[in-house]
Structure 1
Amino acid sequence: MALAWIASYPKSGNTWARILLASYLRDRQVELRMAQLGRGRLDDAVPDLVNVLRTGTMLPVAQPRPLAVKTHFLPGRNIHDPYRDATTKVIYLVRNPRDVIPSAERMLNVSPDRRTAYAKHFIDNRGVVPWQRMGFGLWTESVLEWTTPERLHQYFPNTELLVLRYEDIKRDTAGSLYKMIDFLGFDSELDSDRVQRAVDNSALDKMRDAERRDDSLRHRDRNPFFGQGLSDQSLAGYGEDIEDAYRRLLREDEEFGSLAGQYGYAN
Structure 2
Amino acid sequence: MGKIIWLASYPKSGNTWMRAFLHNLLRDPPEGYDINKITDFSFSDSTVHIYKPFLTKPWTEWTIGDIANTRWQAQRYICSLRLDDTFVKTHNALIEYMGKPMIYPEFTAGSIYIIRNPLDVVISLAHHYSVDLDEAVEIINRTDNGTRNTDQMVYEVHRSWDLHVASWTTHVVPGMLTVRYEDMLEKPRQTFGKVTKFLGLKPTPDRLMRAIKNSSFEKLRAQEDKSGFQERPAKAEKFFRAGKSGQWRNLLSQDQVDRVVAANKEQMKRFGYLPLK
Q: Choose from 158, 164, 174 the match for 1:142.
A: 164
Q: Following the alignment from structure 2 to structure 1, what is the Cα–Cα distance between the partners of residues 114 and 172?
A: 15
Q: Secondary structure at the match of 1:44?
A: coil
Q: Choose from 179, 182, 192 the match for 1:177.
A: 192
User: Contact (CA 8 Å) 1:74, 1:135: kept in 2 or not?
Assistant: yes
Counterpart code for 2:267: L
User: Contact (CA 8 Å) 2:217, 2:240: kept in 1 or not?
Assistant: yes
Task: Say which structure is richer in helix.
Answer: 1
For residues 1-267 of structure 1, the aligned pairs below 5 Å read: 1-28=2-29, 29-33=32-36, 41-51=37-47, 53=49, 56=52, 58-61=77-80, 63-76=82-95, 78=100, 80=102, 83-110=104-131, 115-122=132-139, 125=141, 129-131=145-147, 134-148=156-170, 151-153=171-173, 159-185=174-200, 187=201, 189-214=202-227, 222-234=236-248, 237-239=251-253, 241-246=255-260, 249=262, 256-266=264-274, 267=276
Q: Following the alignment from structure 2 to structure 1, what is the Cα–Cα distance between the partners of residues 216 and 182?
A: 15
Q: Deviations over 1:26-85 (max 9, x none)?
A: 11222123xxxxxxx31112222233746747313574433221111122355755x531
Q: Secondary structure at the match of 2:248?
A: coil
Cα 1:55–1:175 shift into 2, 3 Å = farther
User: Contact (CA 8 Å) 1:119, 1:242: kept in 2 or not?
Assistant: no
Residue 244 of structure 1 and its aligned partner are, at CA, apart by 4.2
User: Contact (CA 8 Å) 2:35, 2:223: kept in 1 or not?
Assistant: yes
Q: Which moved more, 1:194-203 or 1:54-63?
A: 54-63
Task: Report sequence identity in percent.
Answer: 29
Q: Secondary structure at the match of 1:142?
A: helix
Q: Secondary structure at the match of 1:231?
A: coil
Cα 1:53–1:80 shift into 2, 3 Å = farther
Q: Secondary structure at the match of 1:226?
A: coil
Q: Following the alignment from structure 1 to structure 2, what is the Cα–Cα distance between the partners of residues 56 and 182?
A: 36
Give structure 1 stretches of 5+ with no counterpart. 34-40, 154-158
Give structure 2 stretches of 5+ with no counterpart. 54-76, 149-154
Residue correspondences, number: 238
TM-score, normalization by structure 2: 0.74
Counterpart code for 1:139: W
Q: Following the alignment from structure 1 to structure 2, what is the Cα–Cα distance between the partners of residues 215 and 232?
A: 27
